[in-house]
C-alpha cells in the first residue's frame, strides 16, 4: 500500500492572498520526510491552486515521484507529455465545482475516444496512467478496454454517507477492487478520506495506492506537515497489517 499526499490545498491557502506562501514545494519535502510515497497535485485548467511553476519545481525536487492529476484537455495534456511526471491521473473537471465531484464518465463514446487517445499518448511518453472513476462495474470494464494501467476508485460517496450506510459503500469498493483486478488493472482509491474514515478502505486487500489531501493538509495546520503525514501513514499501515500488508 502506497500513501500519496495531495498538496493542492497548500496552494489554496497561498492563493487566498495570491502571495508566495505557504509553498507546496516546501510542503512536499516535509510530506516526504513524514513518509509520503509520492506527491499528488492537480493542475486545473483554471490554475486555481497549483500553478505550472509548482509542478515544475516539484518534478525537480520531489525524491519519490509526482502523480499529476489532469483533465482530458489538450493544454494540460501537452504539459504532462513535455514534463513527464511518474504518473498521470485523468480526472473530470468543471470550473464551478468546489472539488472533483465524481469520477470520469466513460459512458459517452466521444469522451471515451478522447480519454483513450490521451492515455495512449501518456503511455507512449513512459508515464504510468490512472483513471479516476466511480466504483461502478460498467465503468471499470470500459476503463480496462481503454488500456489504462490503473483505476483510482472515487471514495467520495463512502466518505459522505452516514455511518449506517458505510458498510454498503465499503462493499461496493471491495467489489470494484476485485473486478479491477479481474480485468487486469491496478486499483487505487481516494477522495474524502480522513483520519477517521480511512482504515476500512486501507484494509481492502488489493488497493495499492491511496491519494489523500484535504484531511492531511488540515491537520498539518495544527501539527505540521511531517507529523500529519506520519500519523496518516501509521493508521494506513495499521489497517493494512490486519490483511497481510
Please identify, using beta-carbon distances, which residue of 192 and 203 lies nearer to ligand PXP.
Answer: 192
The residue number with the shortest CB distance to ligand PXP is: 213
Look up residue 26 and give its DSSP letter: H
CB atoms inside a 10 Å sphere around CB 46: 7
CB atoms inside a 10 Å sphere around CB 125: 15
What CA–CA distance (Å, rounded) separates 41 from 21?
17
Whole-number minimum distance, CB 114 to ligand PXP, in Å? 18
Options 192, 204, 226, 233; binder of ligand PXP; rule CB under 6 A: 192
Which uninterrupted H or E stretch holds 71? none
Q: Which three cell numbers stand for residue 28?
A: 512536499
100 near ligand PXP, judged by CB under 6 A:
yes
42 near ligand PXP, judged by CB under 6 A:
yes
Taking every pair of C-alpha atoms in the chain, what is the biggest distance, in angstroms?
Answer: 48
180 near ligand PXP, judged by CB under 6 A:
no
34 near ligand PXP, judged by CB under 6 A:
no
- The residues in 136-155 that bind ligand PXP, with binding defined as CB under 6 A, are 152
Whole-number minimum distance, CB 119 to ligand PXP, in Å? 15
Options 190, 202, 207, 225; binder of ligand PXP; rule CB under 6 A: 190
DSSP string, 168-209: HHHHHHHHHHHHHHHTT-EEEEESS--TTTHHHHHTSTTEEE
Please identify, using beta-carbon distances, which residue of 62 and 216 lies nearer to ligand PXP.
Answer: 216
Whole-number minimum distance, CB 154 to ligand PXP, in Å? 7
- Cell numbers 476485485 label which residue? 178
Helix (H/G/I), strand (E/B), else coil: 40: strand
CA gyration radius for the chain?
17
Category of 224 on φ-ψ map: left (φ > 0), alpha (ψ -120 to 50) or beta: left
Options 166, 214, 227, 230; binder of ligand PXP; rule CB under 6 A: 214
Please identify, using beta-carbon distances, which residue of 50 and 179 lies nearer to ligand PXP.
Answer: 50
Please identify, using beta-carbon distances, which residue of 109 and 203 lies nearer to ligand PXP.
Answer: 203
Question: Segment contacting ligand PXP (CB under 6 A): 78-86, 137-145, 178-186, 209-217?
Answer: 209-217
197 near ligand PXP, judged by CB under 6 A:
no
Q: Which three cell numbers stand for residue 235?
A: 493508521
Identify whether the C-beta of residue 33 lies closer than 8 Å to the C-beta of residue 226: yes
Number of residues that bind ligand PXP (CB under 6 A): 19
Binding site for ligand PXP (CB under 6 A): 6, 8, 42, 69, 89, 91, 99-100, 132, 152, 190-193, 211-215
Amino acid at each position: 500500500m502506497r500513501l500519496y499526499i495531495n498538496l493542492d490545498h497548500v496552494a489554496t491557502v497561498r492563493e487566498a492572498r495570491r502571495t508566495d506562501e505557504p509553498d507546496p514545494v516546501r510542503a512536499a519535502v516535509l510530506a516526504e520526510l513524514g513518509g509520503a510515497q509520492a506527491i499528488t497535485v492537480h493542475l486545473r485548467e483554471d490554475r486555481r491552486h497549483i500553478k505550472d511553476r509548482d509542478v515544475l519545481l516539484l518534478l525537480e525536487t520531489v525524491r519519490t515521484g509526482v502523480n499529476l492529476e489532469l483533465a482530458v484537455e489538450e493544454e494540460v495534456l501537452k504539459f504532462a507529455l513535455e514534463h513527464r511526471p511518474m504518473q498521470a491521473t485523468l480526472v473530470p473537471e468543471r470550473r464551478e465545482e468546489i472539488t472533483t465531484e465524481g469520477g470520469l464518465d466513460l459512458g459517452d463514446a466521444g469522451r471515451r475516444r478522447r480519454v483513450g487517445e490521451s492515455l495512449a499518448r501518456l503511455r507512449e511518453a513512459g508515464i504510468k496512467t490512472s483513471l479516476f472513476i466511480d466504483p461502478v462495474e460498467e465503468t471499470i470494464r470500459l476503463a480496462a478496454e481503454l488500456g489504462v494501467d490503473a483505476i483510482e476508485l472515487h471514495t467520495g460517496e463512502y466518505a459522505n454517507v452516514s455511518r449506517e450506510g458505510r458498510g454498503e459503500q465499503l462493499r461496493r469498493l471491495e467489489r470494484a477492487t476485485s473486478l479491477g483486478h479481474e480485468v487486469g488493472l491496478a486499483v487505487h482509491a481516494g477522495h474524502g478520506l480522513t483520519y477517521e474514515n480511512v482504515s476500512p478502505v486501507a484494509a481492502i486487500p488489493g488497493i495499492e495506492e491511496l491519494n489523500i489531501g484535504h484531511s492531511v493538509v488540515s491537520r498539518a495546520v495544527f501539527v505540521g506537515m511531517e507529523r500529519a503525514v506520519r500519523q496518516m501513514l501509521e493508521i494506513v499501515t495499521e489497517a493494512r497489517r490486519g490483511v497481510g500488508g
